[in-house]
Amino acid sequence: MDTSRHFDVIVIGGGAAGLMAAGRAAERGCKVLLFEKNKKVGKKLSISGGGRCNITNAEEDLKVLLSNYGSSEQFLYSAFSEFGVKETFKFFESRKLPLKVEERKRTFPKSEKAPDVVDALATYVAKGSVDVRLGTPVRQIIMADGLIKSVVASGGEYTADSYIFASGGVSHPETGSTGDGFLWLRELGHTVKEPTPTIVPLKARDVWIRTLMGKTLTNAKITFYQDDKKRFASSGDILLTHFGLSGPTILNSAGRVSDLLHAGRVTARIDLFPKLDVGELDKMLVDYFEDNKNKLLRNVARELLPPGTADGLLALVPNINPEKKVHSITRDERRALIDTLKALPVSITGLMGYDKAVVADGGVPLTEMDMRTMRSLRSSNIFIVGDLLNIKRPSGGFSLQLCWTTGYIAGSHA
């Protein structure tokens, strides 16, 4: 055996889960080799969370936290008990990366810079003397007798006692997540569920949305309909874009919308005042108009509606003049305004693709894994982490926490 090409652990993929796995294995004293196809590690991580990096979700109750992973919850207790949210805080803050918690318990580095997270992980890996090969894609996996015997990359053939697959899924393919790991794992005998973008913006054809692109409808409620039958609703901030709708509320609804689109036409209605029924909103407007009776409707609307949206939304109200003073607004005009603000029309035409997806599901079913160690049940020297596992989760820090947890567990047991 060429000892210069033999390692205790080979990690394929230098993203969030791969860096954690490599660093942890090296921390235990293992000789570790990490292959990364990009010119630098953590490429997707460096742009995550809009460049801020939603590093975890600070939910302390383990049962509540794991409920966000749907049917995968039952498989995750052991791993998250060993390395969960508390350990994630300790890990990064002990490496001089203080964290802060925002609404819905989303957690970010105080610096609000995703590259700082990458730097902390790169330092962790370097401290363990991990041999990092950048710009080095794995070309071939060689298997025999149910085990991986070696991997082939530029520079030759390399062997290890254990192999950790951390090459990511298919979201943001421009960062190198092109689904290579799915192909390898299928060839190695695993079932692989075909990926679909699950946390992704929605496409809509409505002109009013494009007119207001870049604006956010705060604290709104969106109700989705399939063939005019109400299916489900979500509440929160909604970002209007040139292609349709985005923001956390939309991203976390996309998986269910995808299911609806397979079965029929999907529309939606956005309620800008979900805490008020029609009668309560009417009374609020009557009182507000009375207090500002000499103001133009356009100006009053700018005070009541989300910033930058008044002119575009008033254009949706039939037979109403924004230049009219509010004391002259008739009851029918006020009712038309209310009806519009309680039910802004949206025609959903589809989901954005993998290039816009925060997360794409798909991957190896957890029934084919020992989730206490991240070891494959199909091959004893294979460990699988991160987005290669078929685990649905919402946005809000849950995806990266899954990477930290599975990466650490694999690094602890490989």
DSSP string across 222-270: EEEEETTEEEEEEEEEEEE-SSEEESHHHHTTHHHHHHHHTTS-EEEEE
Q: Go through the chain and tell me how many residues it has.
A: 414
**Among 78, 129, 42, which Cα is nearest to 408's?**
78
For the chain, the straight-line distance linking the first and the last C-alpha, in angstroms and rounded, comes to 20
Q: What is the pLDDT of residue 178?
A: 46
| Distance separating alpha carbons of residues 193 and 407, to the nearest angstrom | 21
Q: What is the pLDDT of residue 335?
A: 95
Q: What is the pLDDT of residue 145?
A: 86
Q: Give the H or E element holding residue 411.
A: helix 398-413
**Tokens 């742009």 correspond to what residue?**
47
Is 82 within 8 Å of 413 (Cβ atoms)?
A: no
DSSP 48-88: GGGGT---EE----HHHHHGGGGGGHHHHHHHHHHS-HHHH
**Tokens 């918690």 correspond to what residue?**
101
Q: Which residues pair with 141 in a beta bridge?
A: 151
| Distance separating alpha carbons of residues 212 and 74, to the nearest angstrom | 43
Q: What is the pLDDT of residue 142?
A: 93
Helix, strand, or coil here: 325?
Answer: strand
Characterise 146 by phi-psi region: left (phi > 0), alpha (psi -120 to 50), beta (else).
left
Domain limits, the chain: 3-195+361-413, 201-352
Characterise 386 by phi-psi region: left (phi > 0), alpha (psi -120 to 50), beta (else).
left
* Reported pTM: 0.69
Measured torsion, CA atoms of residues 129, 133, 139, 143, in degrees rounded to the nearest 10: -10
Please give the class, per CATH, of domain 3-195+361-413. alpha beta
Amino acid at 138: V
Look up residue 45 and give its DSSP letter: G
- Token pair, residue 398, equals 């849950």
Look up residue 306 and give its DSSP letter: S
Q: What is the pLDDT of residue 110?
A: 96
For residue 380, give every residue at least 6 positions away whose Cβ sits within 8 Å of its Cβ, in sequence order, or none: 146, 147
Q: Which residues pair with 363 in a beta bridge?
A: 193
**Tokens 């939910």 correspond to what residue?**
59
**Tokens 């960062």 correspond to what residue?**
175
Helix, strand, or coil here: 233?
Answer: strand
Tens digit of pLDDT at every position of the chain (414 positions) = 566 799 999 999 999 999 999 999 999 999 999 999 999 999 888 887 778 899 999 999 999 999 988 889 999 999 999 999 999 999 999 999 999 999 889 899 999 999 999 999 999 999 999 999 999 999 999 998 889 999 999 879 999 999 999 986 444 444 334 457 778 888 888 888 776 666 778 999 999 999 999 999 999 999 999 888 999 999 999 999 998 998 888 888 887 887 788 778 899 999 999 999 999 999 999 999 999 989 999 999 999 999 999 999 999 999 899 999 999 999 999 999 999 999 999 999 888 765 554 555 678 999 999 999 999 999 999 999 998 998 887 777 888 999 999 999 999 999
Is 194 within 8 Å of 362 (Cβ atoms)?
A: yes
Measured torsion, CA atoms of residues 197, 202, 203, 208, in degrees rounded to the nearest 10: -170
Question: How big is the chain by its Cα radius of gyration, in Å?
Answer: 25
Amino acid at 345: P
